[in-house]
Amino acid sequence: MASLSIQNLYKSYGDVSVLKDINIEAEDGEFLVLLGPSGCGKSTLLSAIAGLDDISGGHILIDGESVEGLEPKDRDIAMVFQSYALYPTMSVRKNIEFGMRVRGVPEAEREAAVARVAETLQIQALLERKPGQLSGGQRQRVAIGRALVRSPKIFLFDEPLSNLDAKLRVDMRAEIKKLYQRLRATIVYVTHDQIEAMTLATRIVIMKGGVVQQIGSPEEIYEKPVNTYVASFIGSPPMNLLPATFHQDPSGCWLALADSESRANRLCIPAPREAGALADGQAVLAGIRPEAISLQGEGASASQQCIDARVEVLEPTGSDLYANLSIGGHPLTARLRTRCGLELGPASFCVETSAIQVFDERSGLRIELQDAAQLALEQDDSRAVAGRVSRFPGK
């Protein structure tokens, strides 16, 4: 149990810089997930924390103490590898107790520790087997057992589930979560799977090209992505990013969605929190989650606004219906109820005002807006919303 602090960390191989100015603080008992596509440096960062790789600059502190120059064994960490990395010639028992054996822990103590871990992970029956005789999921348990047995300060997981098949992955994910809830240990977990990150993490670190994009709770990351990269990386299907123009006049702010058809689709939004963050007529990207779009007439309320779109493709998945829409030639995905009676062709949809994000088109950064609830109150009786809803009385 310990805190982890990474300060101004740099890592380069020759001229190639793989980690740039990484700053991460993890409190005691935090489940920190490093998330990013392959080659974003997340595994390198984990190796650096473990002490398997040297760093080129910056500091790593475990429990407030610098671990610079310390060998992995002296950092009091345990690691679970993607390939499990079980010692193939040793039985499961020997695998789990190897770390204690080389540290000279007496046999009785070792046996008790192995028994405790085997019970936790339900692998008592496998103790005398060799790794080659185990299934993928069982190997994974043993690998976790090997980390668990030493009660280290920090657990490091390097894509532990990516070698398992889909069904087993879901099971093991739940087990890791259960284990975490019981142990409340500090965990750093690397994955490229956003579902794993969302379900397990207390905080997610999103990385791209060796740079941290955003650090936040799963909710923050999902609801308030800091830039278009995070917005399109998290969520499946990802957040829709529609080209739009920002407009402002004394009556309020709105976005004019790119629309080649005659009438412009307008979305009222709260004013930017920082006055002057956006200029009238500035090109922006409107970020709308697929589930924030609903068919008009389904529980429409004052917090919603309407847009017209053309339905191009319908993809029923069983639980949901994904509708590929087009607004002025720009694609947009909506996540709807199945059997909602939607058909191909033009249709009208509602968008939750509070779910609209605005990104600067050039920098890709999100523009912080004022609270959406306030806008809804202000516009409760305004003609903008009422007028729009009544425009399509038939639907």
Partner 1 sequence: MNASTLADRLPLRRAARPLRLNRVLGWCVVYATLALFALFFLAPLFVMVTTSLKSMAEIRGGALIGLPHEVTFQPWIDAWSKACVGVNCTGLSPFFANTFYLVVPATLIPTLIGALNGYALTQVRFRGQNLVYAIILFGCFTPYQAIMIPLANLLGKLGLAGSIPGLIFAHVVYGLPFTTMFFRNYFVSVPRDLTNAARIDGSGFFQTFWHVMLPMSLPIMVVVVIWQFTSIWNDFLFGVAFTTGDQVPIMVALNNIVSSSTGERPYNVDMASAILAALPTLAVYLFAGKYFIRGLMAGSVKG
Q: Please report whether residue 71 would count as binding partner 1 according to CB under 8 A.
A: yes
Separation CA 160–CA 143 (nearest Å): 9
Q: Is residue 393 classed as helix, strand or coil in its secondary structure?
A: coil
> What is d(CA 376, CA 354) in angstroms, rounded to the nearest whole number?
9
Which CB sits closer to partner 1, 140 or 228? 140
Nearer to partner 1, 88 or 276 (CB): 88
Tell me which residue of 22, 16, 61, 83 sits closest to 213, measured CA to CA.
Answer: 22
Q: Which of 13, 59, 87, 373 binds partner 1 (CB under 8 A)?
A: 87
Q: Which stretch binds partner 1 (CB under 8 A): 67-75, 285-293, 330-338, 382-390?
A: 67-75
Q: Tokens for 133?
A: 């005789």
Element (H, E) at 46: helix 42-50
Minimum distance from residue 159 beta carbon to partner 1 (Å): 11
Asked if residue 83 binds partner 1 (CB under 8 A), the reply is yes
Question: Could you tell me which stretch among 7-15, 94-102, 231-239, 287-295 binds partner 1 (CB under 8 A)?
Answer: 94-102
Total number of residues binding partner 1 (CB under 8 A)? Answer: 23
Rg (CA), the chain: 26
Among 4, 67, 77, 244, binds partner 1 (CB under 8 A): 77
356 CB burial (10 A radius; 0-12, 13-18, 19+): buried
> At closest approach, how far in Å is the CB of 146 from partner 1?
7
Residue nearer to partner 1 on the CB measure, 82 or 151: 82
List the interface residues with partner 1, window 21-60 (CB under 8 A).
Answer: 47, 50, 52
**Which residues contact residue 166 at a Cβ distance below 8 angstroms, ignoring those fewer than 6 apart?**
none
Q: Please tell me whether residue 29 adopts helix, strand or coil conformation.
A: coil
For residues 303 and 379, is the Cβ–Cβ distance under 8 A? no
- Find the part of the chain contacting partner 1 (CB under 8 A) among 28-36, 75-83, 196-204, 310-318: 75-83
Q: At closest approach, how far in Å is the CB of 389 from partner 1?
A: 59
Candidate list 36, 99, 137, 218; residue touching partner 1; CB under 8 A: 99
Q: Which of 15, 38, 102, 318 binds partner 1 (CB under 8 A)?
A: 102
Question: In whole angstroms, what is the distance from residue 8 CA to residue 95 CA?
Answer: 36
Q: What is the rounded distance in angstroms from the CA atom of residue 167 to the CA atom of residue 144? A: 19
Half-sphere exposure at residue 164, Cβ-oriented, CA atoms within 13 angstroms: 23
Question: Which one of residues 8, 23, 66, 89 is an interface residue with partner 1 (CB under 8 A)?
Answer: 89
Q: Shortest approach of partner 1 to residue 82 CB, angstroms?
A: 7
CA 23 to chain CA centroid, nearest Å = 18
Instruction: Return the residues of window 355-394 that contact partner 1 according to CB under 8 A.
Output: none
Closest to 296 in 3D by CA, of 256, 265, 329, 250 = 265
Cα–Cα distance for residue pair 339/344, rounded to 1 Å: 14
Work out how close the CB of 87 gets to partner 1 at its nearest, in angstroms, rounded to a whole number.
5
Is residue 146 at the binding interface for partner 1, with CB under 8 A as the rule? yes
Residue 286 and residue 267: Cα distance in Å, rounded?
Answer: 9
The minimum distance between CB 123 and partner 1, in angstroms, equals 17
The residue (of 73 and 395) whose beta carbon lies closer to partner 1 is 73
Residues lying near partner 1 in the complex (CB under 8 A)? 47, 50, 52, 71-73, 77-79, 81-83, 85-90, 98-99, 102-103, 146
